[in-house]
Amino acid sequence: MRRWGATRCWTAATRLARVCTVGAALALAWTPVSAQIPADSTSLWRYIETPAFTVRYQGRDSLRAARALATLNAVGPLPGLRGEPPRATLTVAPTREAMDALLGGRVPEWAGAVAIPDRMEMIVPSGRFWPGSREEEVRTLRHEWAHLALAAEMAPLRIPRWFNEGYAEWAAGGWLRGGGLKLSVALAFGDPPALDSITLAWPRDRVPAEVAYLLSASVIQYLVESSGTRGLELFLDRWRASGSFDDAMREVYGATPEQLEPVWRKWVERRYGWLLFLTHSTVFWIALVAALGAMCLVRRRYRREQMARLRADDPPDTPAFWIFPRAGREVDREPSSE
């Protein structure tokens, strides 16, 4: 009886194991592919469609994609542009390697995003390797969107690099977030380079590239201060109608880029040179703290020297007229009066 009961138990256990194995196989077969593959290694794109944008992402970047989409939808009409905004694609790259592969080359480490006008696509990094703040993220998205909108407005014309980057930086609002002070610090230690040099060799290091962005944006700021946003609109209209950047600038602003550059250089040196650098509140407090620190050091040194002089005038602890008996020698004593 015991042997037969053990055989029945073993048979039931075997059948149960087979059923569990088949059930697990069926469950795995019906499980979505994205759930079978880890989120970081999946190659499937998920999409969010809106009338103006298509956002694609992978894995755990759904919140990042939705937040970027909300930021782009909140961007209003860009200054100077009249055409219909183009439909664009926003891609959230899951890794740095994936971002390099999407762009066909290595992206600088400091690059927050990249715009590809030929494909009307913006590529932004995943939130897992995005080092910037929320404010910087919004400004970066506006910057890249300005690239695509300007390219769609002026297509198929070729846009000079300094004007393209300058307009995007100016329209994104980065110029208003301490850009003047950063530019004044850069100009305090050197002259602004020529616009042609910026166009031909855009810096790949972070600090020189940031200065190049600010210099390009300062040109747009100068044009807007000269003739307002209306002047910028007329310039883009004339440029699109004539197809010539130089002719449009001569017609609207009365000067060619070669003639405008020395005037702009004097303006940017006068407005963002040493004067702004020295009168900025941050620089003032730094200079004040440095001056107070120097005064404390000088005062401490003076007190130290004064104390040394006072100690030099003090009598020694053992004056020369003090006589001490030597060891092993009797001291002469005066005879007593007795």
For 306-329, what is the mean pLDDT? 66
Which of the two residues, 250 and 36, has the higher pLDDT score? 250
Residue 111 to residue 186: CA distance in whole angstroms? 20
pLDDT digits (tens, 9 = 90+) for 46-68: 999 999 999 999 988 999 999 99
pLDDT digits (tens, 9 = 90+) for 151-173: 999 999 999 988 999 999 999 88
Q: What pLDDT shows up at residue 105? A: 74
Which of the two residues, 114 and 2, has the higher pLDDT score? 114
Residue 295 to residue 307: CA distance in whole angstroms? 18
Least confident of 43-52, 101-110, 111-120, 259-268: 101-110
Amino acid letter for position 176? L
For 288-311, what is the mean pLDDT? 80
- 70: nearest Cα among 55, 88, 85: 55
Written as six digits, the tokens of 85 are 């905004």
For 269-277, what is the mean pLDDT? 62
Q: What pLDDT shows up at residue 21? A: 38
Q: What pLDDT shows up at residue 91? A: 95
Mean of per-residue pLDDT scores for the chain: 75
pLDDT digits (tens, 9 = 90+) for 84-109: 888 999 999 998 888 888 888 767 76
- 169: nearest Cα among 192, 145, 189, 186: 145
Cis peptide before 131 (omega within 30 of 0): no
- Confidence tier at 26 by pLDDT (50, 70, 90): very low
Q: What pLDDT shows up at residue 198? A: 59
Q: Taking the CA atoms of the chain, what radius of gyration do you get in angstroms?
A: 38
Q: With beta carbons less than 8 A apart as the criterion, state whether 42 and 58 touch.
A: yes
Q: With beta carbons less than 8 A apart as the criterion, state whether 94 and 40 touch.
A: yes
Sheet of 121-125, strand order = 46-49, 53-57, 88-93, 121-125, 114-116
Percent of the chain with pLDDT over 90: 30
Q: What pLDDT shows up at residue 22? A: 35
Is residue 316 over pLDDT 70?
no
Written as six digits, the tokens of 135 are 């404010």
Q: What pLDDT shows up at residue 296? A: 83
pTM across the whole model: 0.67
pLDDT digits (tens, 9 = 90+) for 220-247: 999 999 899 999 999 999 999 999 999 9
